[in-house]
Amino acid sequence: MARIELEGIQKRWGPVWGVRDVNLDIKDEELVVFLGPSGCGKTTTMRMIAGLEEPTEGTIRMDGELVNDFDARDRDVAMVFQGYALYPNMSIYENIRFPLRMRDVPKAEHEKLVREAAQLVELEDYLDRKPGALSGGQRQRAALARAIVRKPKVFLMDEPLSNLDAKLRHAMRVQIKHLQRQLRITTVYVTHDQIEAMTLADRIVVMDSGLIQQIGTPDEIYSDPANTFVASFIGSPPMNIVSGVIENRTFRSEGIEIPELQIDHSGPTSFGIRPEDCVVARDASRPSHFRGSVYGVEPTGDLTYLTMRAGDKNFEVKTDRSYRADLGAEERIAFDTERMYFFDTESGRRIT
Amino acid sequence: MASIRRTGGEKLWIRYLILGAWALFCITPALWFLSIGLRPRTEIITPQPIYWPTFSLDAWHMLWSDWPMAKYLRNSVAAIFGSVLIDLVLAIPAAYSLARYEYRGRDDIGFYILSTRMMAPAIVAIPIFFLFRNAGLLDTVWALMLIYAAVNLSVVTWIIRSYMLDIPKELEDSARTDGASDLRILWEIIIPAIRPGIITAAVIAMIFAINEFLFTLLIASTPKAYTMSVALANFTGGSDGVIYNAIALVAFLAFIPVFIVVVAIQKHLSRGLTLGAVKG
């Protein structure tokens, strides 16, 4: 159990910036996900919390105590790595026991603690095996068991699921969330997968180029993105963002016209709308905002992805499962006017 | 289908033939030595070819009764194992430092260590002789241990380093967050993980040490510190002339342990040699 405060954290290797400026207050028992593309500084920030990297500037506090000068082994954090990092020469039992031995937990308790941890991840039957004899999912669970065995103050998870296939990833995601709730341990989770972030997080920290772009609950991040980066990083397929101009409360871009806007802004503007907030308007009497030609139709079973094209830009629309159209056909699209986003074209910052 | 299988079979056949011939070519000297070593001395120097050699243990008996062979053997074993032990104790921490820590001049130091190997041994022979004389170590097994260890240290360090570079950094990060100190990480995580590398390096050092001749001759001036390789040279001179069967037998006996070890670990050995060669 711990609260983690990061203040003015920077990390530089010579001229190369890893993290530019991170300020973050992680509450006790919270599960915070760092989300961003590779190279955005999310793993570096986590490694600084772990004590595996030293910040160039800034302070890290755990439960109010300054831990900048604490070595990784004195911070009482447990980390799960992308490649599992199981010790290949030790059995799973010895792997899970390793942190207990290193931290001088009385020997008499080892057996009980290891079995408890193994049971939590359903791995009791594999304790005698070497890591090499386990499947990817089992290795991942062994790594989890090793992290939870000594009930650390903080869990750090660095893309723990990225080496697993999609089905297993879903199962492990549910298990990780369940464990975290059950053990009530403050957790920082790093991923580039927005689905993982949305499903796991109490709060998401979206990062790019070493800077925090937005901090918020999954809901806030999804429905109230602070800028075009966050808007286009979250969602699958991502938000459509089109640059155009607002004049006389009307936004215009190639194929798009949205009149009667309720915002006081004019000049170059980027407009964004999520694929699920667009409707195909075949009924000519219905108002529509966008005209283009059908570029691709992808049925997935439960819904159909429609890709429209206007000029040289693609535009994604989620339609219902029965939608079909010929390539090149003209189609009119109406937007949910309650769910439109406008961004400053230059800075990318949200206007409304 | 059938024709494909037949051509495959033919190819396999040819492969076995070529490899078998090569193996025979390689092993023939050893078998030849064994054959000479187990024949009476008179038979070896006859000019006529002999098709049915006479079996004799003359050379074997002579080795143990006329020469202090047991002592030579003891010296060899002590010097070789002692030197390998010294090498491992020094090379493992050095390799770990070179492979894992970041510090100014690290790569230069790595190069200096390797560069000791680039010198022809004869160049340093005289200074080394004086060094050991002044230290009062001439004619001792200790000196042999030290000199073998010094000659091999660079290679052993580099082989072990290349194995360490192969260990994912995550493993150490993980051990560190689990609460392990640097020394425990080295002892409990790194060393077990690179055991094949350590064995390879030790065997390579051992082979070098068994074959070492120049420095041994220089340092061991009396039978007190003679090893097998120098003892061999003694069979060529003296009042008895060149004792071919004894030479052959000693050479064969020296070959056996190396042969067994190399066969046992050949998979690791080839990996160790190529890794050491390719990794910078």
CB contact under 8 A, A79 and B171: no
Nearest CA in chain A to B171: A85
Task: Judge if ipTM > 0.85.
Answer: no
DSSP H or E stretch at residue A213: strand A211-216
Q: Is residue A132 less than 8 Å (CB to CB) from chain B?
A: no
- B173, B179, B184 ranked by CB distance to A81: nearest: B173
> Of A141, A101, A100, A147, whose CA–CA distance to A122 is shortest?
A141
Task: Locate the domains of chain A by residue range.
Answer: 4-233, 240-344
The answer to whether A22 and A42 are in contact (CB under 8 A) is no
For B87-132, the pLDDT digits (tens) are 999 999 999 999 988 889 998 998 888 888 888 888 888 898 999 9
What's the gap in Å between the CA of A145 and the closest CA on chain B? 12
What one-letter code names the amino acid at A332? Answer: R
Percent of chain A with pLDDT over 90: 70
Chain A residues close to B175, C-beta within 8 Å = 87, 98, 102
> Of A71, A61, A59, whose CA–CA distance to A26 is shortest?
A61
Which numeric CATH code is attached to A240-344?
2.40.50.140
CB under 8 Å to B218, separation ≥6 — which residues?
A: B125, B128, B129
The answer to whether A130 and A88 are in contact (CB under 8 A) is yes
What whole-number distance in Å separates Cα of residue A224 and Cα of residue A122?
Answer: 39
CB contact under 8 A, A102 and B179: yes
Is a pLDDT exceeding 70 seen at residue A91?
A: yes
Fold of A4-233: Rossmann fold (3.40.50)
Is a pLDDT exceeding 60 seen at residue A248?
A: yes
Q: Residue A310: helix, strand or coil by DSSP?
A: strand
Of the listed ranges A37-41, A94-98, A170-174, A283-287, the one predicted with least confidence: A283-287
Letter string b/e over residues B241-264, b meaning 16 or more CB atoms within 10 A of that residue's CB = eebbbbbbbbbbbbeeeeeebeee
Of the listed ranges A101-110, A131-140, A152-161, B236-245, the one predicted with least confidence: B236-245
CA-based end-to-end distance of chain B: 47
For A182-205, the pLDDT digits (tens) are 999 999 999 999 999 999 999 999
Residue B237 — pLDDT band, cuts 50, 70, 90?
low
Is a pLDDT exceeding 70 seen at residue A225?
A: yes
Of the listed ranges A70-79, A296-305, B61-70, the one predicted with least confidence: B61-70
Residue A224 — pLDDT band, cuts 50, 70, 90?
very high
Mean pLDDT, residues A208-231: 94
CB contact under 8 A, A103 and B171: no
Of the listed ranges A169-178, A227-236, A237-246, B241-250, the one predicted with least confidence: B241-250
**From the CA atom positions of chain A, what is the Rg in Å?**
24
pLDDT of residue A284: 78
Please say whether the dihedral angle defined by the alpha carbons of residues A137, A142, A148 and A152, taken in this order, is positive or negative. negative
What whole-number distance in Å separates Cα of residue B173 and Cα of residue B179?
Answer: 10
Q: Residue B35: helix, strand or coil by DSSP?
A: helix
Chain B residues close to A78, C-beta within 8 Å = 177-178
For A271, the token pair is 């407009």
Mean pLDDT, residues B28-55: 84
What whole-number distance in Å separates Cα of residue A92 and Cα of residue A114?
Answer: 10
Residue A46 — pLDDT band, cuts 50, 70, 90?
very high
The answer to whether A244 and A257 are in contact (CB under 8 A) is no
CB neighbours of residue B132 within 10 Å: 21
What's the gap in Å between the CA of B189 and the closest CA on chain A? 7
What's the gap in Å between the CA of B103 and the closest CA on chain A? 14
Pairing of strands A250-253, A240-247: antiparallel
What whole-number distance in Å separates Cα of residue A204 and Cα of residue B271?
Answer: 46
pLDDT of residue A240: 94
According to the per-residue pLDDT averaged within each range, which of B50-59, B88-97, B262-271 is highest? B88-97
Tell me how far CA of residue A193 lies from CA of A177, A221, A234, A318, in angstroms.
15, 14, 9, 21
CB contact under 8 A, A87 and B180: no
DSSP conformation class of A273: E
Mean pLDDT, residues A329-350: 91
Nearest CA in chain A to B189: A87
Is a pLDDT exceeding 80 seen at residue B8?
A: no
Q: Is residue A79 less than 8 Å (CB to CB) from chain B?
A: yes
A interface mutation test: which of B177, B181, B186, B195 has the most A CBs within 10 A?
B177
Is a pLDDT exceeding 70 seen at residue B273?
A: no
Residue B1 — pLDDT band, cuts 50, 70, 90?
very low
What whole-number distance in Å separates Cα of residue B55 and Cα of residue B39?
Answer: 5
DSSP conformation class of A72: G
pLDDT of residue B276: 46
Chain B residues close to A79, C-beta within 8 Å = 173-174, 177
Q: Which domains does chain B have, with CATH numbers?
A: 66-278 (1.10.3720.10)
CB contact under 8 A, A102 and B192: no
Is a pLDDT exceeding 70 seen at residue B9?
A: no
DSSP string, A282-293: -STTS--SEEEE
Q: Is residue A71 less than 8 Å (CB to CB) from chain B?
A: yes
For B79, the token pair is 């010097």
Residue B79 — pLDDT band, cuts 50, 70, 90?
very high
pLDDT of residue B280: 37
Q: Is residue A51 less than 8 Å (CB to CB) from chain B?
A: yes
For A281-302, the pLDDT digits (tens) are 888 788 889 999 999 999 999 9
CB contact under 8 A, A98 and B184: no
What one-letter code names the amino acid at A91? Answer: S
Is a pLDDT exceeding 60 seen at residue B275?
A: no
What are the backbone dihedrals phi and psi of residue A189, each rounded to the nearest 5 degrees, phi first? Answer: -125, 125
DSSP H or E stretch at residue B139: none
pLDDT of residue A261: 85
Burial class (CB in 10 A: 0-12, 13-18, 19+), A13: exposed
